[in-house]
Structure 1
């Protein structure tokens, strides 16, 4: 789900610290070059909008090289980072294997001479890690952000392990993702450092509405398990329950057709893209995250920060966020019956649902504060740089 949450966070930080529009007003001693590919502002981009300005406050001269294919959303990401005081360079590429990506990273690394180069997502790994090694950057880091169907390919897995072997520091955004990468690609699970995404506190959320409305926020794509949710709603014998879907994606037409075929058209609304989705969360008594795969599950964390119970699949990072029976309910992925039973419990006991929402907000702000994400990353940088000095 594309969101402006990350931009709001870093703008608040900038107001508090008076950083210039391109981050050039501070002299920071240790330069770190981040590399990613983006087409808009979604999960990993929102993460970077919070992380990169925070690392600058920790004393790192953080910059970003963005690979893109000319999408309007890529420019929005650049503008958001610059508004947060992070210097950004861009390189347009025609396709995933375009050598201009590798050459751009190589030139930037040789010119900027960072002490650490940090890649995010597959394209940046494949262009950035070899280029960083060739440019003799002292420390290379790579963060894995998500589940992808292509990771089950033996050819891709072998290539990803080979490229990943160039990194000195491996980060996964959840322990569940580290396990998934070990199973699917043969990485060592204990070779990953886990750094969860973080969140900033918003104002006190409103109380739960009286209407039994559920919310779903995210892209309408197969891995989000939205067909499972529709099937669960058809099994749920609660005719007053409504569901709002906030998001766009290639499955929208198919989901609307399935909604009609199941006789749910009067109870399900497709809102399209909603950014930020705060109002969608606050109109609901609970938020449903029925994913079949999820590297972290930022929507679950955002819902908890808004004081909403979360019904989530037991996949990836979601069980690390949602505590079953305490801040929400956790169900097996792809199981409409189990999901329907959980939704029934949410609807039938409003007092318990509200209590889980309150507990979720407490947990979100205590365990997943943005400051913890920044500080954990900074500590890992310091350790990796110290090891690099010892090697040299």
Structure 2
């Protein structure tokens, strides 16, 4: 049995914890045992980990990467759990995996860069280099992230590995369920529904740019469905009122299972200012939706421009509106892009592919240390 200790920051509703849940569910439980250290955990994903029998250990927020009290808590978990692998994502997670992992003599130590770190300070890059000195590999979750790690952060190529994130292939909701859901949400047959999903933190996700695009379109039959919760939800509702489009926007809040909602959408839009991967874009493609995405970070790797959707510059409501109008006027183009996107997502971004690549990384690194624990 391979014991894996995952170190991340908060467990709420973000992509990092969703991918960890996908990994826990996708790896053979007769071969792997998991435990998670986080700064804080709560909500539906934390409940899902508990349902999978995975213990969450909360150590509290870090004041700085070398906080002794926090690393002592991690070392206590290492002493009891005796992991073969420690796998840290997000900066706090990388700190725990590198520092406590090295002091605790965990055989394999893996870092994972899950964000688009283009605005990272020189000090943070220096710390990441330091963490990698005590680690075996750093995973980049998209080609853009890998490029940053190699060219900007100047980390050694021998320690960088690309493993694209993966999403579970969704079951299609029956037409009757989708019809019922549309009625519940207040949509009419003639409405053209633009969907967007994510944590409502507008500085990053830029839902406000989609609202502005909707205003530019100036057509009451265009509707926007926003799935997610976060600190900027109230201000976005206010913005929709100010723009005079509040009757065209439906905010559902967080949904533990968003997949049926994808079935109500005609197209999907993600307007992020920056994005390490863009998990929801891959999910939308799995559902056969054409995707309008900003040309940033991992999104420009996931969405193939003019093939599975359109890429626009960030902070560009006018261009988002233009692409929505093109797709709304051409059902055949929507269908073709949706089919190409689904094929692309199935080939490159499935949970099965992701879990296999992570398992290979785990087993290969253990083998380099002369450790073979799989029977």
Q: Quickly name the TM-score band, shorter chain normalised.
A: 0.7 to 0.9
Q: What's 1:38 paired with? A: 10
The separation in 2 between residues aligned to 1:381 and 1:116, in whole angstroms, is 8
TM-score, normalized by length of structure 2? 0.85
- Tell me the secondary structure at the aligned position of residue 137 of structure 1: coil
Q: What's 1:13 paired with? A: none
Q: What's 1:65 paired with? A: 36
Q: What's 1:81 paired with? A: 49
Q: Is the 8 A contact 2:200 2:229 kept in 1?
A: yes
Give the Å deviation of 1:89. Answer: 4.6
CA shift in 2, pair 1:206/1:194, >3 Å: farther
CA shift in 2, pair 1:41/1:257, >3 Å: closer
Asked if residue 213 in structure 1 is aligned to residue 180 in structure 2, the reply is no
- Tell me the secondary structure at the aligned position of residue 255 of structure 2: coil
Q: Is the 8 A contact 1:152 1:184 kept in 2?
A: no
Q: How does 1:344-359 map to 2 (within 5 A)?
A: 344-359=325-340
Give the Å deviation of 1:345. Answer: 0.7
170-179 or 256-265, which deviates more: 256-265
Give the Å deviation of 1:291. Answer: 0.8
Which of these residues, 163, 175, 184, is aligned with residue 195 of structure 1?
A: 163
- Tell me the secondary structure at the aligned position of residue 37 of structure 2: strand
- Tell me the secondary structure at the aligned position of residue 66 of structure 1: strand
Give the Å deviation of 1:48. Answer: 1.0
Can you list the C-alpha shifts for 1:39-62, whole angstroms capped at 9, x where unaligned? 3242111111111233335x6433
CA shift in 2, pair 1:94/1:370, >3 Å: closer
CA shift in 2, pair 1:31/1:279, >3 Å: closer
TM-score, normalized by length of structure 1? 0.82
Q: Is the 8 A contact 1:47 1:197 kept in 2?
A: yes
Can you list the C-alpha shifts for 1:184-237, whole angstroms capped at 9, x where unaligned? 645457742111222222233567975211011111211112222222223225
Give the Å deviation of 1:263. Answer: 2.6
Q: Is the 8 A contact 1:327 1:356 kept in 2?
A: yes
Q: What's 1:121 paired with? A: 90
- Tell me the secondary structure at the aligned position of residue 63 of structure 1: strand
Q: What's 2:131 paired with? A: 163
Q: What's 2:245 paired with? A: 264
Aligned-residue CA RMSD (Å): 2.6
Q: Is the 8 A contact 2:35 2:56 kept in 1?
A: yes
Give the Å deviation of 1:78. Answer: 4.4
- Tell me the secondary structure at the aligned position of residue 274 of structure 2: coil
Can you list the C-alpha shifts for 1:308-348, whole angstroms capped at 9, x where unaligned? 11111111111222222222111122222221211111111
Asked if residue 341 in structure 1 is aligned to residue 351 in structure 2, the reply is no
Structure 1: give runs of 5+ residues left out of the alignment. Answer: 1-27
Q: What's 1:323 paired with? A: 304
Q: Is the 8 A contact 2:88 2:110 kept in 1?
A: yes
Aligned length in residues: 356
Q: Is the 8 A contact 1:36 1:123 kept in 2?
A: yes
The separation in 1 between residues aligned to 2:340 and 2:107, in whole angstroms, is 43
